[in-house]
Structure 1
Amino acid sequence: MKANRTFTMRDHTHAQVGIGTLIIFIAMVLVAAVAAAVLIQTSGTLQQKAQSTGKQATQEVSSNLMVKNIEGVRAKNTATAMSSTIDLLKLKVALNVGSSPVDVNQVVISITDGTTANNLVYAGNSKSYASVGASNGVMGYFGDSAADNLESLLMNTTSINSVSYANPSHYFTVDRVRDEDSSFSQSNPVMNTGDMVIMYIATTSASADSANYGYIGTTTTTGGPLSSGLNLVPRSVVNIILTPESGVSTNADFVTPSSYGVKETVQLYP
């Protein structure tokens, strides 16, 4: 005879545990997916900001103007009747090695003789002295001719919003010396690698203004040039700072000679 067998019902909970684990696993996958999406988005934003910051930092250290030399010119009527002050500065400026292009239209030149300080903008800059949103800040009589612009710098005033500005104390002009790619113009004065320009800064004194000198260099100033407020007599300490839109500023400091003698053009820097 076969032994009696007893059958019992057992509670199997393994399947229930498996479903719970699956739910937890799915939840963890969803959380991980959301976290990954956030990290990817954040890393993309950080990468863009890092690239932008790196580009700006590179531009800040690479956009360097370099002052090669500075000459001073005295106003005159004849070869023997000359002003006792330096009335025009000619800065020969180039770009440093590896420099990015520089828009001269955005360069600000600060010059002081220890008593008077002038902050000058490019004569074709239409924004600096204009009202917000307006474009009437360009120097009066400014055009495509560098020679005419220099004459206007020395002789004329500019009226903006019923305010009259003496050009010598508010503007500077530029003429190109070397521009192999023909990228530089009066209306679009952008310097590229290899370019060289002359920046003209009017330093006409009140005495030169009142004496009505007829010439400054080759520029005719019939009726006398306007005063810049500066007075570059012998032994004057002059500080010039060229500040581009981006990049480091360039300083040029010099002391005028103890006597100008009979020289019409005086070497000042370096």
Structure 2
Amino acid sequence: MFEFITNNDDDRGQVGIGTLIVFIAMVLVAAIAAGVLINTAGFLQSQAEATGQESTDLVSERIDVTSTVGIVNNSSDGTLSEIRVGVAGAAGADQIDLSSATIQAVGPNGQQNLIFTGTKKLNTTQADSGADDLQNVSDIPDGAFAVQDSENNFVSASNAVLNDDERFTIVFNPETKPFGEGVGNNTYFGESEQSSLDIVSPSGATTSVDLRAPDLFNTDNEAVRL
């Protein structure tokens, strides 16, 4: 007549162990998820800092153009002997290595990517004799540009560094491509001709400048604004 309720101690123990296992599994999953989140946050922070620095460099590590001048070679032929672009570091810029810069030039004779050449001529065999030194802008080879200081001396790669105290002039040979048809072809950038330059600093900041020669040259060796 009486119903007795009894507890099964074995069943209660199995339930407790199962709950403990589930709890431990949840703790492990949470720890793994937390580790993934921490690693992801650290990666995103590093990536954001790098992207921010690159963005800052693209703005601040820029080369400013201060002047564009051509030197008349022969007024009767209407040709130039030099193309000179004065440059300085943008406000707030750190040191900018011009020897690591590249210049994408478009002119009357196509397009050319120009790289820095130092104080030595290329492809010479008279080393250490002085004959391999750059003496004139006409010595600048195809595919290259040179840099001069305030005294019109060609500077080496180690010295071609813009800073708060230094300004330089990037110099082009008007006979080289894309201004002329190339060294040895006796064609030069001249009257009424146009060219565009994209000066790309080592950080990737780009400065664009357009060159346009006057319609008429008057005097040999005169400086004309481009």
Asked whether the two chains share a fold, i.e. TM above 0.5, the reply is yes
| Alignment match, 1:177 | 150
- Amino acid corresponding to residue 54 of structure 2 in structure 1: Q
After superposition, the Cα gap between the structure-2 partners of 1:18 and 1:150, relative to the gap in structure 1 and judged at 3 Å, is farther
**2:51 is the alignment partner of 1:53:** yes
Is there any run of 5+ residues in structure 1 with no aligned partner, and where?
Answer: 1-5, 126-137, 156-166, 179-184, 206-225
Q: Deviations over 1:77-115 (max 9, x none)?
A: xxxx87631121121101111234322122222334323
User: What TM-score, normalized to structure 2?
Assistant: 0.75
Identity of aligned residues (%): 26
| Alignment match, 2:199 | 242
The question of whether the paired residues in 2 share the 8 Å contact of 1:150 and 1:200 is answered with no
| Alignment match, 2:82 | 88
The question of whether the paired residues in 1 share the 8 Å contact of 2:72 and 2:224 is answered with no
Stretches (4+) displaced over 4 A: 12-16, 140-143, 226-230
Secondary structure in 2 matching 1:20: helix
- Amino acid corresponding to residue 157 of structure 2 in structure 1: S
Q: Which runs of structure 2 are paired with 1:158-237 in the superposition (5 Å)?
A: 167-177=140-150, 186-188=156-158, 189-204=160-175, 226-227=183-184, 231-237=188-194
**2:217 is the alignment partner of 1:260:** yes
Secondary structure in 2 matching 1:66: strand
| Alignment match, 2:105 | 111
| Alignment match, 1:34 | 32
User: What TM-score, normalized to structure 1?
Assistant: 0.64
Secondary structure in 2 matching 1:169: coil
Question: Separation in 2 of the partners of 1:83 and 1:10?
Answer: 119
The question of whether the paired residues in 2 share the 8 Å contact of 1:203 and 1:227 is answered with no
Secondary structure in 2 matching 1:69: strand
Secondary structure in 1 matching 2:19: helix
Question: Separation in 1 of the partners of 2:198 and 2:162?
Answer: 18
Secondary structure in 2 matching 1:247: coil
In the TM superposition, residue 266 of structure 1 has moved relative to its aligned partner by 2.2
| Alignment match, 1:10 | 6
Question: Separation in 1 of the partners of 2:185 and 2:41?
Answer: 54
Question: Separation in 2 of the partners of 1:231 and 1:267?
Answer: 15
The question of whether the paired residues in 2 share the 8 Å contact of 1:203 and 1:229 is answered with no
The question of whether the paired residues in 2 share the 8 Å contact of 1:113 and 1:231 is answered with no
Question: Separation in 2 of the partners of 1:150 and 1:111?
Answer: 24
In the TM superposition, residue 254 of structure 1 has moved relative to its aligned partner by 3.0
In the TM superposition, residue 18 of structure 1 has moved relative to its aligned partner by 3.1
In the TM superposition, residue 230 of structure 1 has moved relative to its aligned partner by 5.3
Q: Deviations over 1:211-242 (max 9, x none)?
A: xxxxxxxxxxxxxxx54775322211222221
Secondary structure in 2 matching 1:86: strand
Secondary structure in 2 matching 1:48: helix
* Higher mean displacement: 23-32 or 100-109: 100-109
* Higher mean displacement: 21-30 or 112-121: 112-121
After superposition, the Cα gap between the structure-2 partners of 1:228 and 1:104, relative to the gap in structure 1 and judged at 3 Å, is farther
After superposition, the Cα gap between the structure-2 partners of 1:114 and 1:194, relative to the gap in structure 1 and judged at 3 Å, is same
The question of whether the paired residues in 1 share the 8 Å contact of 2:147 and 2:169 is answered with yes
After superposition, the Cα gap between the structure-2 partners of 1:173 and 1:113, relative to the gap in structure 1 and judged at 3 Å, is same
Secondary structure in 2 matching 1:139: coil
In the TM superposition, residue 251 of structure 1 has moved relative to its aligned partner by 1.6
Aligned residues: 207
* Higher mean displacement: 36-45 or 65-74: 36-45
